[in-house]
Amino acid sequence: MQVSEKAPIRNNWTEAEARELFQMPFMDLMFEAQQIHRQYHKPNQVQVSTLCSIKTGACPEDCKYCPQSSRYNTDLDTERLMKVKAVLKEAAEAKAKGATRFCMGAAWKSPRAKDMPYVLEMIQGVKEMGMEACMTLGTLEQDQAKDLADAGLDYYNHNLDTSPEFYGSIITTRTYQERLDTLSNVREAGMKVCCGGIMGMGEDERDRIGLLMTLANMAEHPESVPMNMLVKVEGTPLENVDDLEPFDFIRSIAVARIMMPASSVRLSAGRTNMNEQMQALCFMAGANSIFYGEKLLTTENPEADSDRQLFRKLSINSEQHEDVSDEAHEQAILHNIQAEKDAGFFTDATAS
């Protein structure tokens, strides 16, 4: 491919083609990914994502990686649905730090009817601040997706997590097709899609290929593709899974960039376990967004000062006027949760 040629947006990737990308010499793969990245994106800009957990824990799902599941003993304090006032306070703070999109995540299988008025008010409040809004609330029916879109929601996050073949080893309470149906409902309602997966759950290369093929062969690529490296949490079934080889994660970033050239590839959960050199290679591979904040749900995230220092070392300028946040599969920031609880920032929306 000549440098002057722009990589086409494709939706017909074959398994053989994806496998060939994964098996390229590492330097060749990085070179191709960076070339394609520069055709569609500004090379030295990284989008900054801000997240807020509006309802934490007590999730009925059995996702083996997730400390929010009520099925596992992870010592996670369950928190009720935050009051709208508290959420908008978080959004205002995020905007003051340069965010132009605010993402809200709730640990639900699906939003309940009695919760929706609060959720819609949160969206409207964020939009009134001049910010884009995104949410992750679990499975959506068509009418729920329409209500969110009508309230002004720009993006909806709903990850596939892994390949269709490996999915049943990780989750049994929600089918792969249910996830695809939710994404279809989001598209039909006119919202943009944020959808990616988690690496390091015990899957092999075939599963990483299967995940990326599913995403890249959608009729429209997700506008945002969160790439998470598993954060092992004590008490979850995956707490003792073997560590993922860092180069395998970086390869996955590069292949995602090549297969979905125009999408934002988000370096999501797991950055605390990455040194600066690994993060730099992820940016070279085509990642152009990060989560910004002290925590992603119950797992640590590099502090903002550390991110700014790394950006200075790499001469990267955070992007201030475009995409700045999405969910990376139920990984919402837990901002001073106890202090807000004491201040009366929560309302009881967990009772049946």
Whole-model pTM over 0.85: no
The continuous run of DSSP H or E covering 49 comes out as: strand 45-49
Tell me what pLDDT residue 58 has.
Answer: 67
Residue 307 has pLDDT above 80, yes or no: no
The whole-angstrom separation of Cα 67 and Cα 48 is 25
The verdict on whether 134 is a catalytic residue reads yes
Q: 226 near 326, Cβ under 8 Å? A: yes
Q: What are the domain boundaries of the chain?
A: 44-345
Q: Measured between alpha carbons, how far is residue 314 from residues 43, 90, 277, 279, 281 in Å?
A: 11, 29, 10, 10, 11
DSSP string over 216-283? HTSSS--SEEEEEEP---TTSTTTTPPPPPHHHHHHHHHHHHHHSTTSEEEE-TTGGGS-HHHHHHHH
- Catalytic site residue from 134, 174, 195, 257: 134
Lowest mean pLDDT among 38-47, 52-61, 69-78, 263-272: 69-78
The verdict on whether 195 is a catalytic residue reads no
- Catalytic site residue from 194, 208, 251, 282: 194
User: For residue 199, what are its two tokens?
Assistant: 């690496």
The verdict on whether 52 is a catalytic residue reads no
With cut-offs at 50, 70 and 90, classify the pLDDT of residue 47.
Answer: confident
Lowest mean pLDDT among 74-83, 199-208, 330-339: 330-339
Tell me what pLDDT residue 268 has.
Answer: 83
- Catalytic site residue from 52, 80, 101, 103: 103
- Catalytic site residue from 80, 174, 251, 266: 266
Angle between helices 276-285 and 246-259 (to 10 degrees): 20
The letter for the amino acid at 154 is D
Tell me what pLDDT residue 4 has.
Answer: 57
Specify the CATH number for 44-345; select among 3.40.640.10, 3.20.20.70, 2.40.360.20, 3.30.70.270: 3.20.20.70
The whole-angstrom separation of Cα 234 and Cα 314 is 34
The most confident of the ranges 126-140, 293-307, 326-340 is 126-140
The verdict on whether 59 is a catalytic residue reads yes
